[in-house]
Structure 1
């Protein structure tokens, strides 16, 4: 797709986090902000915001001074034919941005913009209140209380952006999963009933993205463009805007307050959802000379037409940080529920009375009103609908993880409804599916305890970059179509021309081969003998648009799974069969062409060889350059879990962390030290020789229950002097990555850092053990009802360049390590980590680096 520190462990929990966001703040434009002794009370994500009185008084002084110095005038166009679809066009290289309060005529897209060829007239700004949002129904109510038959906007008209903003404001004001799902579901139901062309752009805007993750479309707008646009349309000075930012911290809140002082005599037509999405795409497609001016012109035109809360969420969208609790799974769940409650015949499918996924009007009419809080009422109709919800949600999520493209999914739904969605949106070569992920384990004994006598294979876990390789024989002159995707589904085909050449050679060698999708690990090797090299060697390669002649680091593709072959989807086949096909159809291959990549299979050992063979293979792993082992079930069966037999298929499960794939890293094994993937979210000013550096650094793990990052411990060990300097440069005060106020949605518990970091990095951390803590709130309730968990003697190992905060270690994992420890030695109260550390001298370890997990 508020950011406040908690005053104490007993205070209310923070809002949900959006981990993958790459927020751009206004700080780059404003420069460093003065030190604040405490976060302001009125900042972050709230819908009703007021500037603190001293700031407001100063702003009024500046505005009054401005009015005395210059006439209160704005430019207005008289051209009523201009349309917003032309905003920031390539022909408009002058970037004729509107002055304060520019007003254009009406447009089919619902946004007015000035025509540069039309004479303008000058009028005075009118002082009045911010236009109120339309009186929409509450969206967070029960699905059967919300009246979807009542048109939210005038019938037969496009959906206004204010309706989507109404949904976003509702989402930002709650942490309740029920209200979040109700809000999203009711929003999508209204769009399905009253303006379906707005459904697709709404899904993207709610997800805080513009296109599928594998596309090259990026907003590419800097914080300076946003801040200049706000300053231009508001008429505020940079110092006044800086004070607003110091008071609120969030760019969206700043835009809302700044825009509240802008008034025009001629009202603008309302912004439309479709038009806003089109303009964002126009910003993303603005390239070359003058692109920054074109982007700023579009932003200004959007903001001029925005009313009330619209300006807040427009800027948050532009900053890639909506600050609402709607994650991908919630959006897919809501889409499925909305479809269950929408007429199937109106979607182009069969009558919903004959569809297992859709609710009949009779069933809906039998649903009782929601029971009062604390009371349970038997409602068979609601329970039957709940079962339909579960089926529909599973279907939509299954299709999405195999084909993550909202445009194709929406088209499939409109062409045949839920019943034929898999048929219309199948697994497709050239569109990446989400990879299967492995579950961490701590020892070979634990693996045998979990899998018992089920047959498995142990594979080298290479220190490289996971790659999903798609190949399809072309129909034009036999030229194949080849794509290489990362574990995050990003297209990195141009990064590896040597692998593209390898696949072309494979197609030439195998005339019968038509298409395939392979899961693999790309590893740097010594071209002379094929010896493995480190991930750091691989990371030295350029990231895109690489030429074969420029390649200095040779690679090998270590294939370990086959998901698709010659038109057949293999996901439901047992791993033993998939691996057999992989080895027979794709044998090791080394092209004769200089510089071409090579293909090989992962080195492995079968459990049928006996425990001694597996143990010997493990010892070989420890001595090698690999990260550890991947244990993969060869055939389906059942495993022991909490004294029960749990079915365990050996199928390929996209986007699931399955127990059929177990990850045994060297650092996870008892006796070698625990490691966690943690996110730096704040820091304190260093003392002594570390003055001027950040030390210690506050680290967090992911709390999947509350969709946020929660602080665990401070870390000041394992960093080199060079790394400290690089950290200061990256997290410099006044940059997009560092703030004196908690701008990002994290739960810091009882920790009070001097500054807060944008949570976008992941570090691998090793610690002595897990302890109860009176300061940390991590895993509160999982290990103890009154204390969270912390990591004793944390030590930085390396940067995980391959991981985003969404892939960080979880509170569940933290709690499981703690519980495992309790079986070995009882923790005492004296072991509690109070968060205070003794500063130590840095050593030679800790250079920035990373490693791509083969499993995630």
Structure 2
């Protein structure tokens, strides 16, 4: 659930997660609570005799907590107000961990049915979700008929997911969960997809949960009666916000049982939190959080807190969810999804075909099962379809609506690529020399383009239908809407529409680069980053930019993704010539500087030297037409066809990036994530030094430590790092709160993985401490970076775009002169999935 966090003027900051801001740690949750502290102190002063008297009283009278008002009991559907909750919660006595935290009944207590402390509320007993979808009993009613899908069912799925690392069980669980929702309460499917994805809306939507760490802390303290110190102790022992919420609620019972939480209502409450604005918004948000936690039963508390804290800690990632959605749709009759009667769909299974599938045989015994193979083929086709639709139109709401309007058949026509909705960009694969490029492409024609040091941007333009005023959207490589950041580019697009009356719509891929307005000279990305991030006014622009266009994906209603790059490039240059508006401060449009291979190898080498001497990062090498390339792996000399089409969300070998720092003789660089540190000594006492750096492990969905670094940092940077990673903040903890694998390293503190640093080293070596790329390079040792040195912070990259273990292994294998590992070879056209795919397809950025 990520969005941007506000950066400080002096250093790069990560993009804030959409579901919350910096909420990974509860260390900053615990403000003082004078009332609870005084109660705790007075309780301690009473001594042991008083404690015995209190225990005797507890044995005589069952303890209860009134968490409802004297009016009608609140329901999970009412998430706006918190009437009576504060008064009802004011009574709990001091709440050290393990204390009762309850108030005895008095003569003023209203007469009502109560739920005693020893009455444990349990969740429904759902059938296991991790089983084979072909034998899962979809006909068994999971909850009472005519009721919405309960949140406890989704929690059952989340608990199953968090308890396994098995890819098969993860996919089975998601498939059975979504299929159950499709069959028994279809309207809960969409909110479930968002809750499983830990987000509220598509990435280009500005919806943010926007709650601070203290909101969750106060809510937990308020409903549990724990003091801030007791809650801190609980957190220090558990280290996870969800576990803290679960334990804090263990001894809490309500006078009246709360109605169950429903999936759709939980999602609606989260939207209400996101939409709470203006004066009093913080209290409104806390009231909603408290109502959710009060109504939660058992494991529901754990996963509500994790959802609010941005860390579900389950193995469900985007591709897993899309795969499961496709499989669940295959197993759902097309007629249930609005399809025609008696239609033999190539995507949907029939009840009869599912019934013919045999249960999986005992381990080691393979029994031929044509019915299962036939359905697996449908799975494969459906998965490719759903993923293709999603990367071109990443909006769950539209995809679900398309499914309910006819099923999988012709889904791509009902949910097409659309101007105003960003598609995932094509990514390039790194290469190390011009010789490698010619080995890959052979005689197949290609073009070399300057790789500018700017911000990648996808520009959408649509001529107005009624008033003629064009609609313009600008999206980042992460699909975030940054239209308000570039009013000068919006003005440029409007000028282009005015200059070309025949132009109706387009989607352009480009790089936004800071320039000198007097001569058009290139400036650094650092200068571009000095621009405000949103709500910029034309008169306030101090850094002029140029849009360097390099690809055209959509033009006048026609999708161009399947066209070879040569044709897309030709259309781009003919329909969008260089353009400089006359208005002061307006941005300009130009084409990337390039050189085609037909000019000869000498011309390409001369162009490469020009790139080295310029302010560009290097070259992008792109195949102009489909052709053959050298295939890596054990089968040397074997060639395969490579497509020159635009491939959304793929790291393709049709695009190669040759950066200055990739080339032999200039030194290798890695994009690494700081995940921990040690306390400095001597002159560096009070600073973090050394720092533990990691790369992304796509096989295990975590960041795995590679090496320590204490070189390349300035004193100013050290001071900024101490402020940014202050101990006890959301970014730094003594406990390993985040999905990292430190191997044999034992740092003093752990960092929240949210920054990317560019690092240079002498070479890659086998290490007895690191477990990075274990199994890709050696069966017993991981890889480490020798003599690492900090180069710069990569403000244009998120941790998901950091270098991968596969890329690390590839560099090491190149050094050894060995064949590359098959686990990290070219992408196979699939989406990147840290759980399902071993490919490091999204490990390197093109930015």
TM-score by length of 1: 0.86
1:238 Cα deviation after fit: 0.9
The equivalent residue for 2:380 is 390
Q: Secondary structure at the match of 1:419?
A: coil
Which deviates more from structure 2 when the two are superposed, residues 675-684 or residues 199-208? 675-684
Q: Go from structure 1 to structure 2 and tell me whether the alpha carbon gap of 1:266 and 1:156 turns closer, same or farther (over 3 Å shift).
A: same
Matched, 1:855 2:846: yes
How far apart, CA to CA, are the structure 2 residues paired with 1:272 and 1:518? 42
The equivalent residue for 2:132 is 142
How far apart, CA to CA, are the structure 1 residues paired with 2:395 and 2:756? 27
How far apart, CA to CA, are the structure 2 residues paired with 1:596 and 1:120? 70
> In the alignment, is the contact (CA less than 8 A) between 1:74 and 1:101 conserved in 2?
no
Q: Secondary structure at the match of 1:339?
A: helix
> In the alignment, is the contact (CA less than 8 A) between 1:403 and 1:433 conserved in 2?
yes
Q: Secondary structure at the match of 1:76?
A: coil
The equivalent residue for 1:520 is 510
Which deviates more from structure 2 when the two are superposed, residues 454-463 or residues 258-267? 258-267
Matched, 1:673 2:667: yes
Residue deviations 1:28-83 (CA, integer Å, cap 9, x gap): 12379xxxxxxxxxxxxxxxxxxxxxxxxx9x989979999xx9653533544855
Superposed, 1:651-670 pairs within 5 Å as: 651-670=645-664
The equivalent residue for 2:617 is 627
How far apart, CA to CA, are the structure 2 residues paired with 1:247 and 1:612? 65
> In the alignment, is the contact (CA less than 8 A) between 1:441 and 1:447 conserved in 2?
yes
1:387 Cα deviation after fit: 1.1
Superposed, 1:82-101 pairs within 5 Å as: 84-88=76-80, 97=86, 99-100=88-89
Aligned Cα root-mean-square deviation (Å): 2.7
> In the alignment, is the contact (CA less than 8 A) between 1:130 and 1:308 conserved in 2?
no
The equivalent residue for 1:745 is 739
> In the alignment, is the contact (CA less than 8 A) between 2:18 and 2:199 conserved in 1?
no
The equivalent residue for 1:715 is 709
How far apart, CA to CA, are the structure 2 residues paired with 1:379 and 1:403? 36
Q: Secondary structure at the match of 2:669?
A: strand
Superposed, 1:466-477 pairs within 5 Å as: 466-477=456-467
Superposed, 1:65-144 pairs within 5 Å as: 74=66, 76-80=68-72, 84-88=76-80, 97=86, 99-100=88-89, 121=110, 126-128=116-118, 130-144=120-134
How far apart, CA to CA, are the structure 2 residues paired with 1:249 and 1:571? 47
Superposed, 1:55-70 pairs within 5 Å as: none
The equivalent residue for 1:239 is 229
1:824 Cα deviation after fit: 9.2
- The partner residue of 1:610 within 571, 589, 600 is 600
How far apart, CA to CA, are the structure 2 residues paired with 1:241 and 1:781? 42
The equivalent residue for 1:480 is 470
1:100 Cα deviation after fit: 3.4
How far apart, CA to CA, are the structure 1 residues paired with 2:817 and 2:565? 34
Q: Go from structure 1 to structure 2 and tell me whether the alpha carbon gap of 1:382 and 1:125 turns closer, same or farther (over 3 Å shift).
A: closer
How far apart, CA to CA, are the structure 2 residues paired with 1:732 and 1:495? 30
Q: Go from structure 1 to structure 2 and tell me whether the alpha carbon gap of 1:224 and 1:476 turns closer, same or farther (over 3 Å shift).
A: same
1:704 Cα deviation after fit: 1.2
Superposed, 1:192-211 pairs within 5 Å as: 192-211=182-201
Superposed, 1:320-399 pairs within 5 Å as: 320-351=310-341, 354-399=344-389
1:697 Cα deviation after fit: 0.8
Which deviates more from structure 2 when the two are superposed, residues 578-587 or residues 357-366? 357-366
> In the alignment, is the contact (CA less than 8 A) between 2:19 and 2:198 conserved in 1?
no
Q: Go from structure 1 to structure 2 and tell me whether the alpha carbon gap of 1:30 and 1:19 turns closer, same or farther (over 3 Å shift).
A: closer
Q: Secondary structure at the match of 1:230?
A: helix
1:98 Cα deviation after fit: 6.7
The equivalent residue for 1:5 is none
Matched, 1:30 2:30: yes
The equivalent residue for 1:553 is 543
Q: Secondary structure at the match of 1:288?
A: coil
Residue deviations 1:656-679 (CA, integer Å, cap 9, x gap): 000000011100111100111111
How far apart, CA to CA, are the structure 1 residues paired with 2:718 and 2:701? 30
Matched, 1:692 2:686: yes
Q: Go from structure 1 to structure 2 and tell me whether the alpha carbon gap of 1:530 and 1:243 turns closer, same or farther (over 3 Å shift).
A: same
1:353 Cα deviation after fit: 5.2
Instruction: Indicate the structure whose relative CO is greater, using CA pairs within 8 Å and at least 6 residues apart.
Output: 1
Residue deviations 1:83-128 (CA, integer Å, cap 9, x gap): 5444226xx8x996574399xxxxxxxxxxxxxxxx9948787312
Q: Secondary structure at the match of 1:855?
A: coil
TM-score by length of 2: 0.87
The equivalent residue for 1:269 is 259
The equivalent residue for 2:248 is 258
Residue deviations 1:321-371 (CA, integer Å, cap 9, x gap): 101010000000000000111101110113475111111222212211112
The equivalent residue for 1:587 is 577
How far apart, CA to CA, are the structure 1 residues paired with 2:469 and 2:66? 58
Matched, 1:701 2:690: no
> In the alignment, is the contact (CA less than 8 A) between 2:458 and 2:477 conserved in 1?
yes
Superposed, 1:689-838 pairs within 5 Å as: 689-823=683-817
Structure 2: gaps (5+ residues): 2-16, 33-47, 92-107, 820-842
The equivalent residue for 1:38 is none
How far apart, CA to CA, are the structure 2 residues paired with 1:187 and 1:288? 38
> In the alignment, is the contact (CA less than 8 A) between 1:782 and 1:812 conserved in 2?
yes
How far apart, CA to CA, are the structure 1 residues paired with 2:568 and 2:84? 56
- The partner residue of 1:505 within 465, 470, 495 is 495
1:158 Cα deviation after fit: 0.5
1:382 Cα deviation after fit: 1.3
How far apart, CA to CA, are the structure 2 residues paired with 1:685 and 1:152? 53
- The partner residue of 1:316 within 306, 314, 317 is 306
- The partner residue of 2:172 within 182, 185, 189 is 182
> In the alignment, is the contact (CA less than 8 A) between 1:802 and 1:853 conserved in 2?
no
1:27 Cα deviation after fit: 1.1
> In the alignment, is the contact (CA less than 8 A) between 1:502 and 1:596 conserved in 2?
yes
- The partner residue of 1:229 within 216, 219, 222 is 219
How far apart, CA to CA, are the structure 1 residues paired with 2:66 and 2:747? 45
- The partner residue of 1:278 within 245, 249, 268 is 268
How far apart, CA to CA, are the structure 1 residues paired with 2:410 and 2:738? 41
> In the alignment, is the contact (CA less than 8 A) between 1:22 and 1:321 conserved in 2?
no
